[in-house]
Each structure stands twice: as C-alpha cells, then as structure tokens.
Amino acid sequence: MFRSQLIHRVLPANKHLLNLRSVSSTAFLSTSQSPISNASVKSTPIHSAAAAGAGAASANASSTIPQPPKGSSIEFKLSKRDPNQFGSRPIYLDMQATTPTDPRVLDKMLQFYTGLYGNPHSSTHAYGWETDKAIEEARTHVANLIHADPKEIIFTSGATECNNMALKGVARFYGKTKKHIITSQTEHKCVLDSCRRLQEEGFEITYLPVDKEGLINMEDLEKAIRKDTCLVSIMAVNNEIGVIQPLEEIGKLCRKNKVFFHTDAAQAYGKIPIDVNKLHIDLMSISSHKIYGPMGMGALYVRRRPRVRIEPIINGGGQERGLRSGTLAPPLVAGFGEAARLMASEYDADHAHILKLANKLMDNLLSIEHTQLNGSREQRFPGCVNVSFAYVEGESLLMALKDVALSSGSACTSASLEPSYVLHALGADDALAHSSIRFGIGRFTTEEEVDYVIDAITQRVNFLRELSPLYEMVKEGIDLNSIEWAGH
C-alpha cells in the first residue's frame, strides 16, 4: 500500500499532523534518512516548544468556540482537528483555496533549510551544484505529470504570476501585429485583471460567455478568433464550480488557426489527466499549494516546439532561460517537485478516494429540498462540489457552520459580499448566487468528516429555513415571482 494511503486511510484525521511532526523531526536529525522508516523518532526541542505553544493556543481556542445560532436546538459536536498542534479547529473542506502540505513534501524540503543551503545558480562550487541538481530533479517531476520536456518548465511564485506572465508575456511579444486575446467570463481574477491591464495598453479582449453548465461554446470560440488573435486563455478546471473546459477541442482549434493556447491549470494539474501534446496546450499555469506542496511556488509550462515566445515580466540575472529572473528557492522547488511526483504515483488512489467522498457528499446534499448543483455534472473534477441552498443566505449558512472551514467561492473574493461572478455567468440570480457554498475534498479528507458535514448542513439549512419568511411563503404555496416587493 502507498504511504499516503497509510496516512490518510488508516490513521484517523487528527493523527495526520502528529505524524507530520514526527516525520519532519527525522529530517532535522539526518537529511539522508528516509522519513518513512523513521517515523517513530522523538520530536526535537523545537517541536516540543511549538507543541507547548500550541497547548496554550488550544486552551484559548476552546474558550472561543463558535456557538450555534440563537434559539437553535442544534448541538455543536466539537470537531477536534490537530489537537496537539493547533487546538480545536474546524473540519477543513476548502481544498480549492489551498491544500495541506503532505508530510513527505515537508520532509523533502527541510534538508534545504539545514544542510543544503547553496545558491542553485552558484556554478563554481559543490554547494551550488547540489541544490541545482535537486532543482533539475524537481523540474523533471513537474514536467512528467503533463508529459512535457523539463526544459519547458519555468519556475515561478505561483499560478498568479504564471497567468500574468503568459498573458502579458505573449501579448507584449507579439503585440506589434497581434492585438487580440480571447478568454472567458469565468476565469480567475488574476487572468481577468491581467486582461484589463492589457486593454489599457491597447489590446482588445473577447470575454466568452459560458452556458448554464459553466462551459464555453466551441462555436463562440471559433467565431471569436481573428487574424490578429495572439492568444486564447481558457482555464482547465474552474476554482468555484469544478467544471472542466473542453481542452482538447480548444487546443485543436487554436493549433489549426495558429493561435497560442494558454490554460490556467491551478485547479487541474495532477487532478485530471493532462498531456500537453495531446491537448495542444502551448502555455499552462501551475500552482504548488493546490497539490499538497508549499505556497509561494508554481510553474509555467512554455512550449518549445512550435516555440512560444514571451516577453519576461521580471528582468535580472537571466535565470529560468531568461524568462523569469531571480534566485530560485530550493526548499520550495524541491517540495513542489515532490508534491508533483506524489500526485503522479498516487493518482489512482487519490482519484478513487475523492470520487467516493464527493459522491457521498453531493448525493446527500442534493437530497435536501430546494438545492442544486452548480456546474456540469459530467464534465467536472469531483473534488469541487458547489451547491445552492435556496431560501438560505450563504453568508448566514457559513456563519452557522463555524465548525466547518468552507467558502462561498474564490478565496480572493470571499472578503467581499459580492455574489460570485462565476455563478452569475452561469445565469444564477443574486439570491441563488448568494446561497451557494463550495465544498472542497482532497487527499486527507476522511469519510467521518464528510458524514459530519452532511449532518451539520442538513440541520442548519433546515434551521435557517425555519427562520426565513420567504421559505414560509414557499411552504404556503405562494409563487415568490408573483410578489411585488415594496421599496423603502
């Protein structure tokens, strides 16, 4: 059995970080030992100190446990997450925002904070050679997962940087003759904002609509391509609703029309099968912290044949083939490489695990009255389940669910109370968009957690609906659309 299967399928959820602590301590003791074979080694004082600190945090956390809504008969089962390290915490179902770092990834990284500290670009001595070697190994792992050549992988700080680099880089390089870009209305903010910036620079952008399933229409795309189109940028898996765009068809159409195809694969890389050659992808954005790797790390795939040229947005020492200057961070690169290697070797186990839990969650949530799944049922990454609960305000539901870490959409926009522009693009009205919640399931989610969340949601949706005058009217058979609301 794979190691991660052992970690997440045999150990209960709250044992996971305990395991992480003992694993990581082995790396402090010896960088050459296998973390797996030494999982029983005792924690170092560093860890003990952290644990003592966390004990205090735990005491504090229990005094600020969120309470059920007033008047409710709901019983808050206290969900204890990582009690030894971080105190009582909610169940984590926000995997699209970020994923927990895999303990094996951390173990790979730690040696670069202790012994292997050379600058990978120092070519005159062994310190540089050893970190450079680790970086090239990581590059190979990252490339292998998408059937790319390692030379086509440019390390960056994350998918936001990649998207900026791809859009601005291609536009500015080819911009003298080609001033048109096509993207979709449901892209991540960093794609849309890069497009806005390019519009200010004189580029024209077509924002394709999506259908009610969240998918672009291929005829719309074909019609939108012009002689001066330099780039089509369509995301692979949507971060709010999990739908998978028709990548192969888009790639073929772009290749036929000699237009570059960029895809934001922050939520897709390692989670759905991607072969850049089969799908005719020319540029692809990847993020490490969505695949159980470290934050602040990512990679842009840039095709070499036929060659894609980009104008760098960061200039300097000429690292990363001159496309992205700056000293690479070996701990982050090596962790990212290890995360990619694990995504490849554990793909089948992860996929089966996520599919099973997601189906259970989805079937149970959709069996609650007046609910709907947002986005295509067929064309989707199963680990992202977005459900609307009519007659319940999403923010109120989130407030009533303090024991579960969830989001009503993208982490970047969750601070605002604006309803999701992605759900609007699918045709949802404000009320429905406001009543939607995204559930993210990953490698370390357990069935016990999913069962807890199903119970919690069912109880609290019912509770909030009992308080809702609208729901009262619905129960009385009043058609809400027939009501003329008086203004203030």
Ligand X SMILES: Cc1ncc(COP(=O)(O)O)c(C=O)c1O
- Enzyme catalytic residues: 412
Smallest gap from residue 358 Cβ to ligand X (A): 17
Q: Quick one: which of 267, 386, 407, 435 contacts ligand X (CB under 6 A)?
A: 267
Cα separation values, 413 from 46, 409, 426, 441, 476, Å: 36, 7, 18, 20, 36
Let me know: does 238 contact 425? Beta carbons within 8 Å. no
Smallest gap from residue 73 Cβ to ligand X (A): 37
Kind of pairing between the strands at 153-156 and 298-302: antiparallel
Q: Answer yes or no whether residue 420 interacts with ligand X by CB under 6 A.
A: no
Return the range that interacts with ligand X (CB under 6 A); candidates 73-81, 263-271, 380-388, 448-456: 263-271
Please identify which residue in the block is written with the tokens 């095709």.
303
Cα separation values, 111 from 16, 66, 131, 195, 332, Å: 21, 39, 10, 40, 11
Smallest gap from residue 148 Cβ to ligand X (A): 18
Q: Answer yes or no whether residue 188 interacts with ligand X by CB under 6 A.
A: yes
Reduce the secondary structure of 142-205 to three states and give it as a string. Answer: HHHCCCCCHHHEEEECCHHHHHHHHHHHHHHHHCCCCCEEEEECCCCHHHHHHHHHHHHCCCEE
Binding-site size for ligand X (CB under 6 A) equals 14
When the beta carbons of 189 and 424 are compared against ligand X, the nearer one is: 189
AA letter at 313: I
Distance in angstroms (rounded) separating the CA atoms of residues 374 and 351:
21
Smallest gap from residue 295 Cβ to ligand X (A): 7
Q: Answer yes or no whether residue 186 interacts with ligand X by CB under 6 A.
A: no
**Closest to 312 in 3D by CA, of 303, 301, 325:** 325
Q: Answer yes or no whether residue 291 interacts with ligand X by CB under 6 A.
A: no
Q: Quick one: which of 143, 159, 400, 450 contacts ligand X (CB under 6 A)?
A: 159
Return the range that interacts with ligand X (CB under 6 A); candidates 67-75, 261-269, 389-397, 447-455: 261-269
When the beta carbons of 46 and 411 are compared against ligand X, the nearer one is: 411
When the beta carbons of 25 and 101 are compared against ligand X, the nearer one is: 101
Q: Answer yes or no whether residue 235 interacts with ligand X by CB under 6 A.
A: yes
Give the CB-nearest residue to ligand X: 158
For 47-85, the DSSP string reads: HHHHHHHHHHHHHHHHHTPPPPPTT-----PPPP-SHHH
Smallest gap from residue 276 Cβ to ligand X (A): 17
Q: Answer yes or no whether residue 239 interacts with ligand X by CB under 6 A.
A: yes
Q: Answer yes or no whether residue 266 interacts with ligand X by CB under 6 A.
A: yes
Q: Report the number of secondary-structure helices (H) and strands (E) in the chain.
A: 17, 12
When the beta carbons of 190 and 276 are compared against ligand X, the nearer one is: 190
Return the range that interacts with ligand X (CB under 6 A); candidates 51-59, 156-164, 249-257, 346-354: 156-164
When the beta carbons of 265 and 358 are compared against ligand X, the nearer one is: 265
Distance in angstroms (rounded) separating the CA atoms of residues 379 and 158:
26
Q: Answer yes or no whether residue 190 interacts with ligand X by CB under 6 A.
A: yes
Residues 6 or more apart whose CB falls under 8 angstroms from that of 283 comprise: 166, 170, 260, 261, 262, 263, 300, 301, 302, 303, 308, 310
When the beta carbons of 94 and 132 are compared against ligand X, the nearer one is: 94
Ranges within 422-481 binding ligand X (CB under 6 A): none
Smallest gap from residue 311 Cβ to ligand X (A): 20
Ranges within 62-101 binding ligand X (CB under 6 A): 96
Dihedral sign, Cα of residue 366, residue 369, residue 371, residue 376: positive
CA 245 to chain centre: 16
Smallest gap from residue 286 Cβ to ligand X (A): 8
When the beta carbons of 6 and 411 are compared against ligand X, the nearer one is: 411
Q: Quick one: which of 94, 264, 320, 338 contacts ligand X (CB under 6 A)?
A: 264
Q: Quick one: which of 87, 100, 158, 383 contacts ligand X (CB under 6 A)?
A: 158
Q: Quick one: which of 233, 287, 388, 414 contacts ligand X (CB under 6 A)?
A: 287
Instruction: Give burial (CB, 10 Å; 0-12/13-18/19+) of 416.
Output: exposed
Q: Answer yes or no whether residue 298 interacts with ligand X by CB under 6 A.
A: yes
Distance in angstroms (rounded) separating the CA atoms of residues 476 and 135:
65
Does the bond joining 306 to the residue before it have cis omega, within 30 degrees of 0? yes
When the beta carbons of 269 and 391 are compared against ligand X, the nearer one is: 269
Smallest gap from residue 450 Cβ to ligand X (A): 22
Q: Dump strand ranges (E) for 234-277.
A: 260-264
Distance in angstroms (rounded) separating the CA atoms of residues 422 and 420:
5
When the beta carbons of 167 and 198 are compared against ligand X, the nearer one is: 167
Please identify which residue in the block is written with the tokens 């357990």.
446
Smallest gap from residue 289 Cβ to ligand X (A): 6
Q: Give me the half-sphere count of Cα atoms (radius 13 Å) on the Cβ side of residue 289.
A: 13
Chain residues binding ligand X by CB under 6 A are: 96, 158-160, 188, 190, 235, 239, 264, 266-267, 287, 298, 411
